[in-house]
Amino acid sequence: MKALAARRHHRAAPVVLLLMALLAVGGVYAAFAPSPAQAATASTADIETGKKLFQANCATCHGPSAEGTDIAPSLVGVGAAAVDFQVSTGRMPMAMDGPQAPAKPPQMNEEQTAALAAYVASLGAGPAIPTDDQVDPTQGDAAEGMALFRTNCAMCHNAVGAGGALSSGKAAPSLMNTSDRNIFQAMETGPGPMPVFNDAVITAEGKRDIIAFLTEQDKGSAGGNPLGGLGPVAEGLWAWVLGLAVMIGGAVWIGAKSS
């Protein structure tokens, strides 16, 4: 005891104490943490393949065990949905640094994407990939979806999902070519500057309603060129400009004939 008391004032004492406390907290957490829900459904073979793919393609930025680095965030607990979204839209593996990871043709095929998702899901519980039922637009209510979209999404993505610019060189993309699954996954995981819309903010049904609404937008508005989704004002403007040109042309022609 005496020896311990003497060392209490040692310069390294706070550091040692801190390390001991951290170890204790970590140990308690490891003992009581809920086991990841999806780990059970993915096969160990998938997880192993995913781990190898991860080390070859992702570890340089996200760290050898996905714990995060100065360049890229930790992926522990982001869930299979985040990986499926990021990899299937080609955002990951990210090619170069920028204000936002751009979507590009995917580099991984479906099996590789699934394996990567299984590996990351095995590191910590997070949002799972939704089932086909959860994202089926025919089971959603497009009118409800429109109301939800206008309040939660339109300020960034435009009222019909055509996309728009944000500050600092960032942009909210058009949602016209996004798969149903990725619409759901984007809401669940909040990629880049987009906020997360968990079930407390928009329920699973609400998410399906939004998918139904966006699917309707996809089919296009009734007739005409969308003109970048600017809507009837833009179309009216063109009618105005062309109509006026025809009338002026007509007036000039009549004037020229009579003189």
Please compute, for residue 185, the number of CA atoms within 13 A of its CA located in the half-sphere on the CB side. Answer: 24
Nearer to ligand HEC among residue 71 and residue 247 (C-beta):
71
Neighbour-count burial for 175-199, b at 16+ CB within 10 Å, e otherwise: beebebbbbbbbbbbebeebeebee
Residue placing its CB nearer to ligand HEC in the complex, 37 or 155: 155
Other CB atoms within a 10 A radius of the CB of residue 129 amount to 24
Q: Residue from 76, 103, 125, 147 that binds ligand HEC (CB under 6 A)? A: 103
CA gap 158, 236 in Å, rounded: 19
What amino acid occupies position 252? V
Minimum distance of ligand HEC from residue 18's CB (angstroms): 28
Taking the C-alpha atoms of residue 238 and residue 230, their distance in angstroms, rounded to an integer, is 12
Is 197 a binder of ligand HEC (CB under 6 A)?
yes
Peptide bond into 93 cis (omega under 30): yes
Subset of 36-95 contacting ligand HEC (CB under 6 A) = 57-58, 60-62, 71-73, 75, 78, 82-83, 86-87, 89, 91-94
Q: Please say which residue, 7 or 52, places its beta carbon nearer to ligand HEC.
A: 52
Residue from 68, 106, 124, 193 touching ligand HEC (CB under 6 A): that is 193
Does the protein bind ligand HEC through residue 131 (CB under 6 A)?
no
8 Å CB contact between 94 and 69: no
| Residue that has been written with the tokens 């406390």 in this structure | 21
24 vs 85: CA distance, rounded Å: 36
Q: Which is nearer to ligand HEC, 75 or 129 (CB)?
A: 75
Instruction: Give the CA distances from residue 220 to residues 10, 161, 214, in Å, rounded to whole numbers and listed in that order.
Output: 73, 11, 10
Output 22 or 155, the one with its CB closest to ligand HEC.
155
- Window 153-192: residues binding ligand HEC (CB under 6 A): 153, 155-157, 166, 170, 172-173, 175, 178, 182-183, 186-187, 189, 191-192
Contact set with ligand HEC (CB under 6 A): 57-58, 60-62, 71-73, 75, 78, 82-83, 86-87, 89, 91-94, 100-101, 103, 116, 152-153, 155-157, 166, 170, 172-173, 175, 178, 182-183, 186-187, 189, 191-195, 197, 202, 210
